[in-house]
Structure 1
């Protein structure tokens, strides 16, 4: 559909909505959170907020109510917290008895276990916390949408920038935790995809206090990497990466989990009206909006947009609309977001940021695609191992 026809279609839909008498419907949403034990890290400078994710959903709820209030749409949000070790499947069944719309703050196997519950077959589940490529691949489920970008999408965004900069010689430091290894693999696979090569890598296995030893240990550790243009760091726990920049043996830029970071969202994103969302979130939560907050916000806003456009709350009708070419979500990233029909992943630009600035936003110019340039980030349809959506 051309841009002009799409604009006409959206304008016509808006007029039809305005002319339709308000029909009172309820749209209850449950934010299901599994509490997890966090492994120890070298620094406690950035503790995770207790309302991580939930705060984003709450801001999205307020946005939905702004439009829904004029149309008789009653949005509610409930949080269900599952303590460490408790039965997540049982909690999910109880949540599904109250709502067919769940935002999942759970990990890996728990996402698929919830999706496979009989009560979930007619529900809409939104994965707002797990970036695993497998959940968008061989472990995909037709009732699960992913509003958090995959590791593959983030890695592809970074590699597009590296190719643009012509940094051909790469080195890598990876941590030992599962998240570190997954991020390291994503960056390594993406480097291969874009014709780049990581020439040497090392594993970070220090357990000493780097606040005192970084200036001595890091230069020696990185000296063995030889010459390189850019040092990639895989540290998803935000454990040691903060001590790498400015302490390397060679004066080289750092990227990955520190330095230049590909991310879902950051406080430094201010263009495309994003400053307005940042301000509203900060007013609500008294902190900066984080990637998981944005993913939860996008999840509940997806429900709100679909309900507004279809005028109903039937999960099947909403799913069909969300996967159609008519669905678009204005989400403060410079272009409307949509969902991939082959694995349920939300298409979205990926900001490349430092602590204080937006450096670039992928997809970068020159990376073309027959459908949309957003599909240059992550697993494209021909390479997808997701069979459920077929």
Structure 2
């Protein structure tokens, strides 16, 4: 069953299907808990979790030497989860969050009431012509605003000098982009637009990968019973190539789909993570495992 639903609904479905020959494919819920304390053996996660998304973006920003971030966030639980993911990624890859600011969403308030983002608190003082000048010291405004309450205004309301905007607004990590052109993606985008008269969105690509996984497992196994197909999907012999340049499969410790992530704007991708130069100990031959929860960090008990 391909599931486009929230985490609570997905967990209810997983528990309902526990004693049945049913495998669920999560294409929507990015909650880290679904891959950790709330993981289920009958759930495969196509959509990346927030840790994977934050890690992919952080790797690119650090590679570009944009290491100092002003973190601006909203007041929802999802925003708090994105803040936690950004803080984890910064620590993991050597970035520095110089200040954290909260935008408090006043019920009934108008979006055009969002004021300018104040400069970060001074991180250091520099002496210029014998005059002490405070410097804000951030390269990026990192936004955590999943509901897009104030985020779209941040590129035009940043305090002080212009800065790169990333996170849930501006530059972000994603599974798919309508501007993706490498590894056969142009043909995939064109075919989708021809068939459905609209661009392919990340949720569409995630659903495609889920369906492709099922098709691959069935066609590669003469026996199409549930146990055989499920074992193949969970195992190392599954090798998918959904327009990302490498063969992809699921992590055995939590059912998360291993995949490169695009670093993109709303229109075009600018890079693909994982970036080179971020080694890890557990599976050094699998670069995509630098994104998200690596095996030694996992508390999933499937």
TM-score (norm 1): 0.69
Distance in 1 of aligned mates of 2:300 and 2:220: 28
CA contact (8 A) 1:268 1:358 kept: yes
Tell me the C-alpha RMSD between the 2 structures.
1.7
Report the Cα offset of residue 197 of structure 1. Answer: 2.6
1:242 equivalent in structure 2: 152
Please list the CA deviations of residues 246-294 of structure 1 after superposition, one character each: whole Å capped at 9, or x if unmatched.
3211211111011111111111211111011111221222222111111
Is 1:186 aligned to residue 85 of structure 2?
Answer: yes
Q: Residues 317-328 of structure 1 correspond to what in structure 2 (within 5 A)?
A: 317-328=228-239
Cα distance, 1:170 vs. partner?
Answer: 1.2
* Residue number in structure 1 paired with 2:118: 222
**Contact conserved, 1:233 with 1:241, CA < 8 A, in 2?**
yes
Unaligned runs of 5+ in 2: 123-135
Alignment deviations for residues 313-334 of structure 1 (CA, whole Å, 9 cap, x no partner): 3222111111222111110111
CA spacing shift, 1:205–1:372, aligned 2, 3 Å: same
- What is the aligned partner in structure 1 of residue 208 from structure 2? 297
Is 1:116 paired with 2:15? Answer: yes
Q: CA deviation at 1:312?
A: 3.8
| Pairing of 1:151-170 with structure 2 (within 5 A) | 151-170=50-69
Query: Cα gap change, 1:119/1:380 in structure 2, threshold over 3 Å: closer, same or farther?
Result: closer
Distance 1:120 1:276 in 2: 41
Cα drift, residue 356 of structure 1: 3.0
Conservation of the 8 A alpha-carbon contact between 1:222 and 1:248: yes
- More moved, 338-347 vs 221-230: 221-230
Pairing 1:385–2:284 present: no
Equivalent pairs, count: 282
2:7 and 2:30 map into 1 onto residues whose CA distance is 9
- Give per-residue Cα distances to partners, 1:292-345, cap 9 Å, x unaligned: 111111111100011110134322211111122211111011112111000000
Superposed counterparts of 1:1-390, under 5 Å:
102-117=1-16, 121-207=20-106, 208-210=109-111, 212-213=112-113, 217-218=115-116, 221-226=117-122, 227=136, 228-250=138-160, 251-368=162-279, 369-388=283-302
CA contact (8 A) 1:122 1:143 kept: no
Decide which structure has greater helix share: 1
**Cα shift at 1:120:** 5.0
Q: 1:213 to 1:118 in 2, by over 3 A?
A: closer
Aligned residue in 2 for 1:57? none
Q: Indicate conservation of the 8 Å contact 2:56/2:274, yes or no.
A: yes
The answer to whether the 8 A contact 1:120-1:143 is kept is: no
Q: Which runs of 4+ in 1 moved over 2 A?
A: 118-122, 206-210, 221-226
Instruction: Give me the TM-score of the superposition, normalised by structure 2.
Output: 0.88
Matches of 2:273 and 2:120, distance apart in 1: 32
Evaluate the alpha carbon distance shift between residue 120 and residue 177 of structure 1 in structure 2; reply closer, same or farther with a 3 A threshold.
farther
Q: Could you tell which deviates more after superposition, 247-256 or 144-153? A: 247-256
**SS of corresponding position for 2:271:** strand
Q: Distance in 1 between matches of 2:18 and 2:277?
A: 45
The C-alpha deviation readout for 1:72-113, integer Å capped at 9, x for no partner, is: xxxxxxxxxxxxxxxxxxxxxxxxxxxxxx111121122222
2:67–2:94: 8 Å Cα contact kept in structure 1? no
1:361 Cα deviation from its structure 2 partner? 0.3
